[in-house]
């Protein structure tokens, strides 16, 4: 059921939601929270679709706020949707004029009571999410650094203004990468001497992953560029060889551990609804993300040479083995030299043969003389 409301108020929207639920035959709400989506007119359809997909796992009231500030007359238009394949409730809010500068006055009366609120900015997010008027309403504030229109995200400002509940989809995308790398070190406990992250240029997830590795391993982490998509490889350098996780196609990765055969691992790039579902599953403060932000600020102040992995720490198993064990060509050369005697050895070996010949000749001569005497 879709109900269009023009020039309305928050109380009229709440009444329309109640009326729509009763007409749909579901007076009980049965929703676990509220998702507030702050988006523009061009991308609100995709954002609402992703929120409804995530609602299949977490039925929620979705409030999509489209802010249209300007000099026009303040006003509020709404579109209420209940049913029609929507697991919870969806309300599309268009705020015009001065009303767009105070969106919390419209959204606050529509929040579900005694339930968590998640605020999501699909278009990037404010500089400091916790200071945003709508961000202050949320228990969880989700931004997306990869979708920002600015050249780069000011992670220093986010680290300075961080509050428990802040997170970013650029960090959420790293969950399977971090899980696989942690499992690799659990399976193959060895000292890591350096690390490398390879990704498409300007990927904020790669910056966060490099900061996380530096914070947890306390080693130099180098970032390199590739054609993508996204992160294409992560390598942990060890004295025994590199622990590598490579994903050139954005779908299937190759997991390599020294001394073991390579293994394919499903590591596809997740869609927005899957990322949002993960954030709805955990609403507790993410302390690891906070430490990673702090380390990222530290990396920005480091000189470029300090982020590079030295050639000594890049040594692989082949390099270490070749230093201890001669190559096949060297072994073959040594064998041929061992079989072929040297010049001095030839004279020494033939000398006894000549001596034997002279001795036998002397015996024959002596025998002749003895025979003549007899």
In a domain, 365, yes or no: no
Closest-CA residue to 212 (of 146, 156, 284, 295): 295
The enclosing domain of 235 has a CATH number of 3.30.360
Give per-residue pLDDT as tens, 16-68: 988 888 887 665 567 889 999 999 888 899 999 999 899 888 889 999 999 99
Do 160 and 227 lie in a common domain? no
Domain residues for 16?
A: 2-169
Which of 321, 343, 366 terminates a domain? The answer is 321
Residues 148 and 6 in one domain: yes
Cα angle 178, 281, 273 (rounded to 5 degrees) comes to: 80
Other Cβ atoms less than 10 A from the Cβ of 47: the count is 23
Instruction: For residues 151 and 219, state if they share a domain.
Output: no
Q: What is the pLDDT of residue 101?
A: 92
Judge whether 372 lies within some domain: no
Shared domain check, 181 and 159: no
Residue that finishes a domain, picked among 112, 139, 169: 169
16, 165: one domain: yes
Are 88 and 190 found together in one domain? no
For 308-330, the pLDDT digits (tens) are 888 877 765 444 433 334 444 44
Question: Based on the domain organization, do 28 and 46 belong to the same domain?
Answer: yes
**Of 321, 338, 361, which residue sits at a domain end?**
321
Cα angle 314, 318, 324 (rounded to 5 degrees) comes to 105
Write the burial class of residue 155 (CB in 10 Å: 0-12 exposed, 13-18 middle, 19+ buried).
Answer: buried
Whether residue 210 sits in one domain with residue 90: no
Task: For the chain, list the strands marked E by DSSP.
Answer: 2-5, 33-39, 60-68, 75-83, 86-96, 117-120, 140-143, 166-168, 194-200, 221-226, 231-237, 243-246, 252-256, 263-266
Percent of the chain with pLDDT over 90: 55
d(CA 175, CA 117): 22
DSSP 8-state symbol, 111? S
200 & 314 share domain: yes
Rounded average pLDDT over 146-159:
77
For residues 179 and 246, state if they share a domain. yes
Residue 329 lies in a domain: no
Could you give the number of structural domains in the chain? 2
Question: How many residues are listed for the chain in this entry?
Answer: 374
Nearest residue to 33 (alpha-carbon basis) of 280, 277, 278, 275: 280
Helix (H) or strand (E) holding 373: helix 343-373
Token representation of residue 278: 């993960």
Assess whether 207 and 301 both reside in one domain. yes
Distance CA 13, CA 8 (A): 7
């Amino acid at each position: 059921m879709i109900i269009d409301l023009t020039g309305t108020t928050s109380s009229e929207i709440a009444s329309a939601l109640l009326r729509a639920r009763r007409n749909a035959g579901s007076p009980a709400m049965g929703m676990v929270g509220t998702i507030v989506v702050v988006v523009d007119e061009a991308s609100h359809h995709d954002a609402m679709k992703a929120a409804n997909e995530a609602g299949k796992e977490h039925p929620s009231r979705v409030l999509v706020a489209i802010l249209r500030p300007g000099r026009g007359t303040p006003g509020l238009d709404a579109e209420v949707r209940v049913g029609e394949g929507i697991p919870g409730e969806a309300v599309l809010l268009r705020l015009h004029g001065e009303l767009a500068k105070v969106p919390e006055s419209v959204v606050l009366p529509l929040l579900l009571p005694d339930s968590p609120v998640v605020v999501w900015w699909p278009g990037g997010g404010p500089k400091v999410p916790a200071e945003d008027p709508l961000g202050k309403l949320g228990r969880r504030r989700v931004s997306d650094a990869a979708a920002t229109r600015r050249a780069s995200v000011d992670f220093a400002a986010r680290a300075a203004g961080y509050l428990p509940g802040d997170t970013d989809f650029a960090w959420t995308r790293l969950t399977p990468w971090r899980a696989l790398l942690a499992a690799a070190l659990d399976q193959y406990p060895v000292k890591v001497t350096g690390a490398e992250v390879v990704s498409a240029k300007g990927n904020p997830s790669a910056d966060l992953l490099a900061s996380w590795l530096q914070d947890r391993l306390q080693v130099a982490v180098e970032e390199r560029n590739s054609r993508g998509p996204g992160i294409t490889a992560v390598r942990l350098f060890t004295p025994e060889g590199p622990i590598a996780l490579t994903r050139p196609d954005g779908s299937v990765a190759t997991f390599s551990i020294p001394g073991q055969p390579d293994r394919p691992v499903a590591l596809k790039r997740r869609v927005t609804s899957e990322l949002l579902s993960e954030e709805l599953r955990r609403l507790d403060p993410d302390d690891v993300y906070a430490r990673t932000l702090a380390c990222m600020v530290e990396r920005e102040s480091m000189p470029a040479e300090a982020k590079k992995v030295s050639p000594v720490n890049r040594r692989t198993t082949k390099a270490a083995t070749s230093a201890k064990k001669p190559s096949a060509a060297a072994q073959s050369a040594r064998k041929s030299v061992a079989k072929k005697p040297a010049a001095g050895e030839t004279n020494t070996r033939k000398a006894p043969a000549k001596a034997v010949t002279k001795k036998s000749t002397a015996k024959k001569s002596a025998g002749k003389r003895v025979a003549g005497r007899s």
